Chains A and B, each alone.
Chain A
Amino acid sequence: MAEIPEHLLKRAQAARENAETNQPTSDQAPSETIEADSAVAVIEEEIPETDERAEEILNQILEGLGETVLTSHIAPGRGLWIRVSSDNWRQTAEFLKDELDCKFFDWLSVIDWMPSPYGRELETEQDIEPEQDTNEPEQMEWGYTGGDTRFQLICRLYSISNAAGIMIKADLDDQSPRVLSLIPVYPGANWHEREAREMFGVTFDEHPDLRNIYLPGDFEGHPLRKDYPLLSRRMKPWPGIVDVEAMPGEEK
């Protein structure tokens, strides 16, 4: 990496300090800076701490599916997550479609929870904080509803009559991730599964056509896996914001 001029480092340091002093505190909530107005009052409602509708739906799901729901999570006002095992993947979707009227197939994808072995690959030295030791290997951490394995399947179904979106997650095997295809339930899953196969290497059983959807047929690797390197960054890292000439009034 090219050496960064000192004045830029100083500027970055000043920016960091400035940001630290500007951290919003609890008594400095953004809504207080706003003029009260009759129209404004409507949208300033507090986000509810509990979400009764989501809980009601979750109860329905738990009644119907029982033990197969491993964990669940409700973020009030934001959504509902459930985690099932990959063996029950298709049954869960069938249940949600039939019983909870989730007719709308929103999307399907995979999350690779392994921390990137290349670090964050940020472009500038300014972005990397000095106190953070990047050499220490990070532990795998899962998001909402937890997880056991590296690859987690995630799918969102939406019920128009209940006005509720449900996220389903399922853990996949590390070595040979495979799961039953959702095409018999939702034909729209076809392309989403092809994309997931191509980007993560997840095999969908009973899928009629698992060719690459985006990349050329002879493309090697699965780009969205965390261990797939972005070669342009590996070959020649961008040196960051480096002024070739000093700006007027600045010392080089």
Chain B
Amino acid sequence: MSTTTENEQLAYIASQAADARVNVEVETDEGMTLNLGPQHPATHGTLRIIAKLDGEKVVTAEPIMGYMHRGYEKLTEVRTYPQVTTLINRIDWLGSFANEVPFILAAEQLMEVEAPPRAQWIRTILFELSRIANVCLFLGDMAVQVGATTPVFYAFRDREFVLNQIERVTGGRFHPNFDRIGGLKDDLPKGWIEETRGALERMKSFCDEMEELVLGNEIFQARTRNIGVIPGDVALSYGLSGANLRASGVDWDIRRDANVGLVYDQVDWKVWTHPDGDSFARFWVRLQETREACNIIDQLLGSIPSGPIMAKVPRIIKVPAGEAYVATENPLGEMGYYVVSKGDLTPFRVKIRSASFSNMSITPWILKDVFVPDIISILASLYFILGDIDR
């Protein structure tokens, strides 16, 4: 390298960084470029962020995605409707069952089929169980990102009880592929309701534990209070949804305001909002929502109606021509499928509106002028899953 000048070397290093091959810090006259990811220990999954720093302050931060892009929207066009559910399980892999529901509901709308009440009840219960399984890990992981290691072990420990219950019904811990057009694949196994109540007790005590362990912690509060504040109207114009939106004081929940096909109107529950819009508020809202999910499941378990679990649908499913958009309030926010059918075995076009993609699109705005350690806590509090961003 003796023949090259220092500037050439810097340019070389910068180009290497741009090629996503190394984690590198480059210092120039204008400031420092910090490259987080895609294999940095402090990042989630494989998200990569290039931050230009001025001292400890972030001047611009640019997320680079696509390391997990699998081309779902193209693949759905060459798969039949039942095959698509297998695939879309894997978009948000922490709450897999919740991914199937909006797609199935959209197809049901086009076929003008409605699932029997028992199926709708069980769907809602499984939907909320997958919310717990998903958000539970967030509660542990958020604490890890601000420096506490223990809570994530608790999260993994108690999450197993919920996964066991999902597995007992669907046969899959992770990817149930249980939802069918017109109902569900199977009924509940014997004794499941009582066991689920036991698991819910466990989750409730987990929520209490997290509240004592994390929420009141002085360091946690110092790292999250007034950090990454998103006002409500900014959140709306960026398309933030779910707990991120409600933590900014916008009282909107699809489960309550635009419910399709699930039985949230049969239970007495509350939508939690927080006026602050900071990282702390996002954690708080998600913690309350986990409790609320336990509450919803508790009520639904006591009132499951009897009856069949499948409506009459033809064995080979052909969806009539038309367009439908159904969104549900998934653990990460609004997830919807815009299904265009031409009366064929396969969808003509499926647009997947995934929550994390819109939630993360605010990062260049929110990471402006924050300090470097806050990058991690803000990203953790926005809560994204790479598969849900990149699809």
Decide if A and B touch, CB cutoff 8 A. Answer: yes
- Residues on A close to B: CB < 8 A? 15-16, 18-20, 22-24, 28, 30-31, 33-35, 37, 39-40, 42-44, 47, 75, 78-79, 81, 103-107, 109, 111-112, 116, 120-122, 127, 141, 143-144, 154, 156, 160, 163, 165, 167, 186-188, 190-192, 199, 212-216, 223-224, 228, 230, 233
Instruction: Give B245 Cβ to nearest chain A Cβ, in Å.
Output: 9
Inter-chain contact count A-B, CB under 8 Å?
166
For A16, A30, A116, which residue has the most chain B Cβ atoms within 10 angstroms? A30
Task: Give the nearest-CB partner of B237 in chain A.
Answer: A186
- Per the bound structure, the CA–CA distance linking A190 and B306 in Å amounts to 48
* B84 contacts A by Cβ under 8 Å: no
Main secondary structure of the interface of B (DSSP, over half): loop
Q: List B contacts of A33 (CB < 8 A).
A: 116, 307-308, 311-312
Which listed residue (A22, A121, A214) contacts B312, Cβ 8 A?
A: A22
Instruction: Give B58 Cβ to nearest chain A Cβ, in Å.
Output: 18
- Per the bound structure, the CA–CA distance linking A177 and B258 in Å amounts to 34
Q: List 11 A-B contacts (CB under 8 A).
A: A16-B316, A23-B314, A30-B114, A37-B305, A43-B266, A103-B237, A105-B358, A106-B353, A111-B340, A122-B346, A163-B257
* B349 contacts A by Cβ under 8 Å: yes
Task: Give the nearest-CB partner of B390 in chain A.
Answer: A214
Determine whether the beta carbon of B66 is less than 8 Å from that of A213.
Answer: yes
Contact with A along B212-237 (1 / 0, CB 8 A): 00000000000000000000010011
Contact with A along B284-328 (1 / 0, CB 8 A): 000000000000000000010111100111111000011111010
- Per the bound structure, the CA–CA distance linking A143 and B341 in Å amounts to 8
**6 A-B pairs with the lowest CB-CB distances in the bound complex, closest first:** A30-B311, A214-B66, A188-B238, A19-B315, A214-B69, A188-B239
Q: List A contacts of B353 (CB < 8 A).
A: 106-107, 156
* A30 and B182 contact, Cβ closer than 8 Å, known pairs A22-B312, A212-B66: yes
Instruction: Give A242 Cβ to nearest chain B Cβ, in Å.
Output: 17
Instruction: Give B144 Cβ to nearest chain A Cβ, in Å.
Output: 27
Instruction: Give B63 Cβ to nearest chain A Cβ, in Å.
Output: 9
Q: List B contacts of A144 (CB < 8 A).
A: 322-323
* A109 and B238 contact, Cβ closer than 8 Å, known pairs A24-B313, A143-B340: no
* A109 and B78 contact, Cβ closer than 8 Å, known pairs A34-B308, A190-B361: no
Determine whether the beta carbon of A31 is less than 8 Å from that of B114.
Answer: yes
Determine whether the beta carbon of B239 is less than 8 Å from that of A141.
Answer: no
* A35 and B305 contact, Cβ closer than 8 Å, known pairs A122-B346, A160-B250, A224-B74: yes
Task: Give the nearest-CB partner of B250 in chain A.
Answer: A160
Q: List A contacts of B239 (CB < 8 A).
A: 104-107, 186, 188
- Per the bound structure, the CA–CA distance linking A104 and B223 in Å amounts to 29
Number of interface residues of B (CB under 8 A): 67
- Per the bound structure, the CA–CA distance linking A165 and B233 in Å amounts to 17
Determine whether the beta carbon of B361 is less than 8 Å from that of A213.
Answer: no
Determine whether the beta carbon of A30 is less than 8 Å from that of B357.
Answer: no
* B263 contacts A by Cβ under 8 Å: yes
Determine whether the beta carbon of A39 is less than 8 Å from that of B266.
Answer: yes
Determine whether the beta carbon of B78 is less than 8 Å from that of A122.
Answer: yes
Determine whether the beta carbon of B345 is less than 8 Å from that of A188.
Answer: no
Determine whether the beta carbon of A143 is less than 8 Å from that of B316.
Answer: no
Determine whether the beta carbon of A78 is less than 8 Å from that of B109.
Answer: yes
* B381 contacts A by Cβ under 8 Å: no
- Per the bound structure, the CA–CA distance linking A36 and B229 in Å amounts to 50
Instruction: Give B273 Cβ to nearest chain A Cβ, in Å.
Output: 13
* A188 and B361 contact, Cβ closer than 8 Å, known pairs A35-B306, A35-B307, A214-B69: yes
- Per the bound structure, the CA–CA distance linking A43 and B74 in Å amounts to 35
Which listed residue (B75, B338, B351, B361) contacts A191, Cβ 8 A?
A: B361
Determine whether the beta carbon of B238 is less than 8 Å from that of A187.
Answer: yes
- Per the bound structure, the CA–CA distance linking A234 and B75 in Å amounts to 14
Q: List A contacts of B327 (CB < 8 A).
A: 106
Determine whether the beta carbon of A230 is less than 8 Å from that of B74.
Answer: yes
Q: List B contacts of A212 (CB < 8 A).
A: 66
Q: List A contacts of B338 (CB < 8 A).
A: 107, 109, 154, 156
* A215 and B69 contact, Cβ closer than 8 Å, known pairs A34-B116, A111-B340: yes
